Amino acid sequence: MINTEPLRCGLSCAVIGRFDREVILQYAEAGISSIETALPFINYFAHDWKELKRFADDAGVELWSVHLPFGGENNMFNIADKSFCADTVRADERIIVRAGEAGMRAAVIHPNTGDIDVKERGKQFETAVKSLEKLVAIGRREGVMIAAEVLPRENLGWCITEMKALADAVPGLKICMDVNHIIEYPPDDFVRAFGDKIITVHMSDNDMTRERHWMPGDGKIDWKNIIRLLKSINYTGPFMYELDGEEFGRFGLKGIKQNYDGFIKGIIEEIYK
C-alpha cells in the first residue's frame, strides 16, 4: 500500500544514478516511501515508466516527482538564443509526458543554469518566463505540476523578491522549497511569501553559510521550525531527502531511514498531531 501520510520519507535517486525496478525494490526494502527521479537526460528513456509505475505500486513505493535536467546544455531555456530555448523545452516536454504516464505529481525545474551576469539578468528573466509558461501548459495537459526550485547565490530566483516575480509572471507555476538553498533570509519569510504554492521540498542540512546537502541534524537548520512552517501551509507531500554523493556514501538508504525514524519522524508526529 502506498504511504500518503504528510512528510512521509522520500529520497531523490540522483545519488543512485538510476531509476529502475532494482532501485524501486531497494527503496521498498529500506522503508523509503517516495522517489524523486533525477537523472542525466539520456537515462530518462532507458525504461518503460508505465511498467515501473505498476511495479512501484505493487512494491508500495510512491513515484512522487521528477527533477528535470539541469546544468550546461540540459537547461538552457533562459538564454537569448531561441533555438536553444526551444530545444530545452522540447526535451523537458518528453520527460514531463513520461512523468504523467507514471502518475508523478510534480516536475522540479531550476529557473536557470549557473550564476548570471547582472547585465543579462533582465533578459534572462524574460526568456525564462516565456519558457516556463510553455512548460506549465505542458504540465497541465499531462497532469503534472511544474515547480521552480529556489536556488542559491546569483542564480535566477535566489531571493524572495525575484522568485515571487517569477511565480507572479507565470500563472500556475508552483514552488519547490530546497531548505539548503535558503540561507540569505529566514525560511519563515519564504513560506509566508509562497504559502500553498510550495508543493514539494528538498531536505538536507547546512552550516548556514552555504549549501552543504548534509544529513538533517548534522548542521544548523532548525528542523522543528521547518516542519512547523510546512504544517502552517497544510503541506502533505514527502519529506524528500536530497543529499550529496559523499553523504549518501556514508549513510546509504538504511542510514537515511534511520535518520528519518530516529529524528525527523518524532518532530513530525509532535507538530502534525
Single pTM value for the model: 0.95
CB 237 within 8 A of CB 5: no
Start-to-end CA span in the chain (Å):
22
CB 109 within 8 A of CB 152: no
CATH topology of domain 9-272: TIM Barrel (3.20.20)
Parse the chain into domains and list their residue ranges: 9-272
Give the chain's radius of gyration (CA, Å): 18
Tens-level pLDDT at each residue, the chain (273 residues): 899 999 999 999 999 999 999 999 999 999 999 999 999 888 999 999 999 999 999 999 999 999 999 865 555 555 555 666 788 899 999 999 999 999 999 999 998 876 677 777 888 888 889 999 999 999 999 999 999 999 988 788 888 999 999 999 999 999 999 999 999 899 999 999 999 999 999 999 999 999 999 999 999 999 999 999 999 999 999 999 999 999 999 999 999 999 999 999 999 999 998
DSSP state for residue 215 in the 8-state scheme: P
Element (H, E) at 148: strand 145-149
